[in-house]
């Protein structure tokens, strides 16, 4: 995700307490005062939090999202609700990366709460109402996206749920085909 960020991270040096600075291209943080280098630890969900604030608000909490990485893909994360904003074009590659990394599929398929389909989030880039629809692949989650801006919002745990649930025969990507989104949401209403 190519967004501008403030390199001064929300994370502090363990030695001297000064805010760490992000070396974006090199994926580490450093302390200008004691010259320490920090390599972020990977969370159990496969996320490396870099903590550098973007200028993009969380669509739920309205706090500034911070830069994070999954593999070499940059994403934006909310430090409050733990949601993720990512580029749609990266979504399948991110899932593929995480599925290879975490090959166990232990979570049984769940049904999603249909109330989630009625939720209205606003795109943090263009402010239009984001579309919601059930993700057709494993995990049964409801995704929020803005097709115009090419971004996708995932609530806390949705990525893990997709990755850790056994895949169905064929996962599909609804937004590649606009007609299938319409058909699907019409079916949902019946």
Provide, rounded to whole angstroms, the least separation between the CB of residue 60 and Zn ion.
Answer: 4
Q: Does 5 bind Zn ion (CB under 5 A)?
A: no
Our CB check for Zn ion shows the closer of 74 and 155 to be 155
Q: Does 147 bind Zn ion (CB under 5 A)?
A: no
Provide, rounded to whole angstroms, the least separation between the CB of residue 122 and Zn ion.
Answer: 8
CA distance 103 to 87: 24
Q: Does 80 bind Zn ion (CB under 5 A)?
A: yes
CA distance 160 to 170: 19
- DSSP letter at 35 equals -
- Only one residue has tokens 């599909």, namely 172
Q: Output the CA–CA distances (angstroms, integers) from residue 19 to 40, 80, 151, 174, in the order listed.
A: 14, 19, 29, 42
Which among 41-49, 90-98, 120-128, 157-165 is the span making contact with Zn ion, rule CB under 5 A? 120-128
Q: Does 163 bind Zn ion (CB under 5 A)?
A: no
Our CB check for Zn ion shows the closer of 58 and 163 to be 58
């Amino acid at each position: 995700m190519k967004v501008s960020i403030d390199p001064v991270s929300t994370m502090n040096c363990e030695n001297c307490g000064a805010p760490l600075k992000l070396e974006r291209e090199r994926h580490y943080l450093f302390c200008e005062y004691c010259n320490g280098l920090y390599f972020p630890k990977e969370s159990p969900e496969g996320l490396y939090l870099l903590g550098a604030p973007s200028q993009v608000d969380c669509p739920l909490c309205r706090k500034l999202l911070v830069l994070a990485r999954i593999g070499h893909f940059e994403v934006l994360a909310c430090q409050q609700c733990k949601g993720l904003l990512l580029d749609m074009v990266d979504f399948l590659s991110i899932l593929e990366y995480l599925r290879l990394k975490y090959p166990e599929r232990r979570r049984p398929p769940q049904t999603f709460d249909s109330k989630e389909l009625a939720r209205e989030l606003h795109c943090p880039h263009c402010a239009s109402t984001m579309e919601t629809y059930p993700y057709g692949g494993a995990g049964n989650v409801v995704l929020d996206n803005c097709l115009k801006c090419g971004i996708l919002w995932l609530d806390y745990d949705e990525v893990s749920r997709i990755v850790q649930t056994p895949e169905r025969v064929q996962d599909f990507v609804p937004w590649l085909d606009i007609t299938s989104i319409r058909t699907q949401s019409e079916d949902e209403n019946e």
